[in-house]
Amino acid sequence: MKTHQIQKINTKLVSLLDANRVHYDAATCHVYGYDNSRGHALPSFVLFPKHHDEIVNILTLCSAEEIPVLARGLGTNTVGASIPIHGGIVLSFEHFANIIKIDPDNRLIKVQPGVTNLAVQQAVGAHGFLWGPDPGSAAFCTVGGNLACNAAGARALKYGSTRDNTLALTAVTGTGATIHTGSQTSKNASGYDLTRLLVGSEGTLAIFTEATLKLTPKPTHSITIRACYQDVHAATTAITQLLAQATTPSTLEFLDARAVSLIQVHSELQIPKQSGAMLLMTIEGDAHSIRSLADQVAAAATVTGTIEVLLAKDDAQAAQFWQVRKALSPALRRLAPNKINEDVVVPVSELASFLEFCQQLVENHPVLLVCFGHAGNGNIHVNLLFDARIAAEAAAAKHCLTQIFEKVIEIGGCLSGEHGIGLAKKPFMHLQYSETEIAIMKGIKRVFDPKNILNPGKIF
Amino acid sequence: MKTHQIQKINTKLVSLLDANRVHYDAATCHVYGYDNSRGHALPSFVLFPKHHDEIVNILTLCSAEEIPVLARGLGTNTVGASIPIHGGIVLSFEHFANIIKIDPDNRLIKVQPGVTNLAVQQAVGAHGFLWGPDPGSAAFCTVGGNLACNAAGARALKYGSTRDNTLALTAVTGTGATIHTGSQTSKNASGYDLTRLLVGSEGTLAIFTEATLKLTPKPTHSITIRACYQDVHAATTAITQLLAQATTPSTLEFLDARAVSLIQVHSELQIPKQSGAMLLMTIEGDAHSIRSLADQVAAAATVTGTIEVLLAKDDAQAAQFWQVRKALSPALRRLAPNKINEDVVVPVSELASFLEFCQQLVENHPVLLVCFGHAGNGNIHVNLLFDARIAAEAAAAKHCLTQIFEKVIEIGGCLSGEHGIGLAKKPFMHLQYSETEIAIMKGIKRVFDPKNILNPGKIF
């Protein structure tokens, strides 16, 4: 945006919200131009709306002036979905972060989009409930961002993703029109499901101003189980056997050999030396059932090639088991300066062969591979580690990534399980979707946002 | 369609599928012109496709010739969604009813749309799984119909509706284009969610040719509980208390005073005389937990005004308890010749005041009211009983229905929980949705079906 345009738009924006919530200085614009993908682009304005009506007015202005608008939570997105690549306006929801109502009788909470996932969990936890989505970044990611990218986390295996736990939305379209989707009820068969269409649309269809989230009673008891295996094959056999049980763990996390050995080298945590793969599971139940459920799950986790299956004896040991998973990301940084972390999903039955495919693929290339993630959903975080300053490594990483995406689609999987498409996976959308399917998505975008001002250039 | 047109189109249709699967005789057209709403309209053709490619060819022809097309399962829809009000072609899926694959490792089943819900339950039951949706008509309703109307049933409280239990679809749009939505995985954050948009769209966006359904492990043990109350107020207090528990029953059915007295008069079933409301619940668990879970639920069901809470001692008694619910519909017919049965949904906390509102409403009008249904979801089947031959009764029923819909929306509910909108609720869509929201739905329809040939005139 040119200087005279900025002045003109600034005057209009200041008339819509207090001057101290309209920023166009270089420092603020710089800070709000990045997300956790490490990409960056400069917006012309950063606004801090507080009210629904302000967002209606801003979008009405942006529609008239054809200014791109990006809604931003706290910038934890890893695929570049919150980078303002076409400049324009970033709407930051930091001051739009109130819990509006907790309604235990109807098992719901109504919030503004800027509230963090953790704040929701704490608020509803006090009433004996949880909200399903639990991304690793829960403490510093917002509900608005969770909605935009259909965020999930480890316990999605039992509780589903954001899309499965959202009842109703208030949102503003690219023309500045207010829409209310869904209802304050757990069933709805009335017209097209705009709620679930908006969830996961990465801010390209409408901007959320209020969300009604579905709550689930918190189980009273849980047990964490850690299982170590000789190799990936044994671990994936156990996964299949675990999912055939009537008792589904609420989490079923997988770590491959390199992930396990990273922990062994770089942390104090005790893991059997010969472990070539690990599973971490949480079993939930009540006082009467929890022990027998855990025993059933432990039995199902025991296959040929199992080294040990340990039930955490108390909360402290459970926390220690989970520490292994949390220590992974910092440890990864020691292997190489650059990391591509993709959250592909494959059918659980294909996990073993997919992991084997990835391992064989990287053997002939100058990149390292570390795989871990939400195995119960087949949602594997495939980490390619390399040094981007070395051309051969950068090229190899790119080549391997393409091969991995092609394989994922070939076996019936999908590009993303919880991070979204953003910029990082946009070049691969044609692998998962036909031209017809992408044309339909673009057609739907035009219905909500005829001038293409909402987060333009993302997804497709 | 005029005779010469019928001849012309018939020639083309016979070239697309065998002549014995193309019907335009009056008798066949008559039979396929109704659904369970008792409405009727004559199609010009009834076709029995067997293959995806046939449907592509039929829709390509219909798009070119602008002929309306309606996909029909077995006609159990109660809101007129499967009545061909604009004539044209009815596609009957009776010969498109194969189970393609059962895949226990990935907890999914792949089916053609004409297979019945019951056939799916039986097929996956043999592998220890269930498919969530369990409409009362399971034995004679199809998966295609379940998908079209987002069908549910009593156990949706625990397992969700059709939309929550569908992973992927193959479908053909109004232009004859094939689309694949979703993936063979339980997580997906890749682009817009076309799967859940198509579920519940009542055949207006695309015609399904294959569905991948998400399976859930069947619990090993269950107990049925019957609770009788002095009045509706006591029953709704119990419902709120039950939903505040960590243990959610898989079903939580409600019967009002008139429903209970109908059973007392017209069946042999033993119910305490002074019962003014009843709850029927199913508790699920394993051998270790089931009894304690049932005891917890029974305790939560016990409030001031409780007459008795009975745990079924065996399967025979459980079946007898459920017989009460099943005896209701036949008994209703004894009250009046005509029935309007609406499946509105209200927030659970509003159930008591909503039921009271309905009762007070009908007191001043010549109609009878019987309410029962899926109370755990706030999904109440409101039955208005009257004699349509008496003008005053017909007018009163219509008046009361409008008042009831207005109340439902006022308290945050929705028009339909599991039947859909079809024709019956189309006049009330403006109560739930603004002009903007309906315009967005119509815009989405144009993206999928630019010539408005797919089930035209339904929903909005």
- What span, in angstroms and rounded, lies between the C-alpha atoms of B169 and B199? 9
Cα distance from B6 to chain A (closest Cα, Å)?
A: 31
> Of A192, A247, A438, which has the smallest distance from its Cβ to B444's Cβ?
A192
Closest chain B CA to residue A157: B186
Pick from B152, B189, B296: CB nearest A418: B189
Angle at B159 between CA A206 and CA B460, to 5 degrees: 45
Q: Which of B156, B288, B346 sits opposite A289 (nearest CB)?
A: B288
For B425, the closest chain A residue by CA position comes to: A190
Q: Give B324→chain A minimum CA distance, Å.
A: 24
pLDDT tens digits along B43-95: 999 999 999 999 999 999 999 999 999 999 999 999 999 999 999 999 999 99
Nearest chain B residue to A221 by CA distance is B246
Check A173 against B420: CB less than 8 A apart: no
Q: Are B97 and B142 in contact (CB under 8 A)?
A: yes
CA distances from B180 to A158, B56, B183, B190, B405 (A): 26, 13, 8, 13, 36
Mean pLDDT of B302-329: 92
Give the mean pLDDT of chain B. 95
| Closest chain A residue by Cα to residue B129 | A246
Does the beta-carbon distance from A190 to B156 stay under 8 Å?
no
Rg over CA atoms, chain B: 23
Q: What CA–CA distance (Å, rounded) separates A343 from B417?
A: 34
Q: How far is CA A207 from CA A36, A84, A403, in A?
A: 21, 15, 35
Tell me whether 0.85 is exceeded by the ipTM: yes
Residue type, A247: T
Can you give the pLDDT at residue B428? 97
Encode pLDDT of A357-383 as tens digits.
999 999 999 999 999 999 999 999 999
- Describe chain A by its helix, strand, coil percentages, rounded to 5: 40, 25, 35
What DSSP string runs through A235-280? Answer: HHHHHHHHHTSSS--SEEEEE-HHHHHHHHHHS-----TT--EEEE
What is the C-alpha to C-alpha distance for residues A113 and A93, in angstroms, rounded to an integer? Answer: 7
Of A140-144, A442-446, B339-343, B387-391, the one with minimum mean pLDDT is B339-343
pLDDT above 80 (res B298): yes
Flag if A185 and B220 touch (Cβ within 8 Å): no
Beta bridge partners of B210: B170
Q: Which whole number is the average pLDDT over A100-115?
A: 96
Torsion of CA A343, A348, A351, A353, to 10 degrees: -140
The pLDDT-based confidence of B248 (bands split at 50, 70, 90) is confident
Helix (H, G, I), strand (E, B) or coil at B172: strand
Q: Determine the average pLDDT of the residues in A50-65.
A: 98
Backbone angles phi, psi at B146, to 5 degrees: -60, -45
Q: Chain-wide mean pLDDT for chain A?
A: 95
Across the interface, which of B292, B349, B379 has its CB nearest the CB of A187?
B379
Whether residues A200 and B220 touch (CB distance < 8 A) is answered with no
Q: Residue B286 is nearest to which of A194, A199, A292, comparing CB atoms?
A: A292
B270 pLDDT tier (thresholds 50, 70, 90): confident
Chain B positions touching A347 (Cβ under 8 A) are 103, 105-106, 184-185
Question: Considering only CB atoms, which chain B residues are within 8 Å of A421?
Answer: 189-191
Measured between its terminal Cα atoms, the distance across chain B in Å is: 24
In B100-192, which ranges are continuous DSSP H helix?
Answer: 117-125, 143-149, 156-159
b/e burial code for range B161-179 (CB count within 10 A of at least 16 → b)? bbbbbbbbbbbbbbbbbbb
Q: Which residue of chain B comes nearest to A177, CA vs CA?
A: B436
Contact A178 B448 (CB under 8 A): no
Say which of B128, B190, B246 has its CB closest to residue A246. Answer: B128
| Residue B79 · residue B37 · CB < 8 Å | yes
- C-alpha–C-alpha distance, residues A154 and A175, integer Å: 37
Token pair belonging to A168: 């109703």
The DSSP element (H or E) to which A79 belongs, if any, is none
Put simply, the answer to whether A247 touches B185 (Cβ < 8 Å) is no
pLDDT of residue A332: 86
Are B347 and A184 a contacting pair at CB < 8 A? yes
Closest Cα in chain B to A247: B217
CA–CA separation, B290 vs B316, rounded Å? 18
Question: What pairs with residue B214 in β-bridges?
Answer: B108
Tell me whether residues A377 and B447 touch, CB distance under 8 A.
no
3-state secondary structure B386-409: ECCCCHHHHHHHHHHHHHHHHHHH
For residue A89, which of A47, A148, A52 has the smallest C-alpha distance? A47
Residues of B in contact with A292 (CB under 8 A): 286-289
Residues in chain B: 460
Kindly report the number of other CB atoms within 10 A of residue B392's CB atom: 12
> What distance in Å separates the CA atoms of residue A253 and residue A351, rounded to the nearest whole number?
13
Q: Could you report the per-residue pLDDT of B330-375, keeping only the tens digit for each?
A: 788 888 999 998 999 999 999 999 999 999 999 999 999 999 999 9
pLDDT at B147: 98
pLDDT band at A255 (very low <50, low <70, confident <90, very high): very high
* Ordered DSSP codes for A20-70: GGEE--HHHHHHTTB-TTS-B---SEEE---SHHHHHHHHHHHHHHT--EE
- The pLDDT value recorded for residue B244 is 81
Strands A69-72 and A89-92: parallel
Judged against a pLDDT cut of 90, whether residue A428 lies above it is answered with: yes
Average pLDDT over residues B182-210: 97
H helices present in B204-308, as ranges? 232-243, 257-266, 290-300
Amino acid at B234: A
Residue pLDDT, tens place only, A108-157: 999 999 999 999 999 999 999 999 999 999 999 999 999 999 999 999 99
Contact A106 B177 (CB under 8 A): no
In a mutagenesis test of the A interface, which of B190, B345, B377, B381 is the best target, namely the one with the most A β-carbons within 10 Å? Answer: B190
Please answer whether residues B404 and B355 qualify as being in contact, where contact means their C-beta atoms are separated by less than 8 angstroms.
no
Distance of CA B286 to the CA centre of its chain: 29
- At B334 the pLDDT is 85
Alpha-carbon distance of A24 to A2, in angstroms, equals 12
CA A216 to chain centroid? 20
Subunit contact B179:A440, Cβ cutoff 8 A: yes
Say whether pLDDT at B247 is over 90: no
Q: Using CA atoms, how far apart are residues B358 and B364, in angstroms rounded to an integer?
A: 11
Could you report the per-residue pLDDT of B118-161, keeping only the tens digit for each?
999 999 999 999 999 999 999 999 999 999 999 999 999 999 99
Shortest Cα distance, chain B CAs vs residue A394, angstroms: 25
**What chain A residue is nearest to B219 in terms of C-alpha separation?**
A246
User: How confident is residue A425, by pLDDT bands cut at 50, 70 and 90?
Assistant: very high
Which chain B residues are closer than 8 Å to A188 by Cβ? 150, 345, 414, 416-417
Angle formed at CA B239 by CA B408 and CA A165, multiple of 5 degrees: 65
Cβ contact, residue pair B412, A243, below 8 Å: no
Q: Say whether A191 and B460 touch across the interface (CB within 8 A).
A: yes
The band of A65, judged by pLDDT with boundaries at 50, 70 and 90, is very high
Residue A316 pLDDT class (50, 70, 90 cuts): very high
- Distance (Å, whole) CA B268 – CA B337: 23
**Number of other CB atoms surrounding residue A27 within 10 Å:** 8
| Angstrom distance (rounded) from CA A408 to CA B184 | 11
Distance CA B92, CA B47 (A): 6
pLDDT of residue A90: 98
The pLDDT assigned to A59 comes to: 98
Q: Determine the Cα–Cα distance for residues B185 and A377; give it in Å rounded to an integer.
A: 7
In chain B, whose CA is at the least distance from the CA of A103?
B349
**Closest partner CB to B185 (pick from A191, A346, A419):** A346
Provide the pLDDT for residue A309: 97
Higher-pLDDT residue of A18, A113: A113
Mutation target for B interface from A179, A186, A237: give the one with most B CBs within 10 A.
A186
pLDDT score of A267 more than 80: no
| Tally of CA atoms within 13 A in the half-sphere of A365 that contains its CB | 25
- Residue A243 — very low, low, confident or very high, per pLDDT cuts 50/70/90? confident
For the cut 80, the answer to whether the pLDDT of residue B267 exceeds it is no
Is A288's pLDDT higher than 90? no
Q: Is A171 helix (H, G, I), strand (E, B) or coil?
A: strand
Kindly report the CA angle at B412 between B232 and B395, in degrees rounded to 5? 70
Q: Which residues contact B286 (CB under 8 A, 6 or more apart)?
A: A246, A247, A289, A292, A293, A296, B219, B220, B221
**pLDDT score at A328:** 86
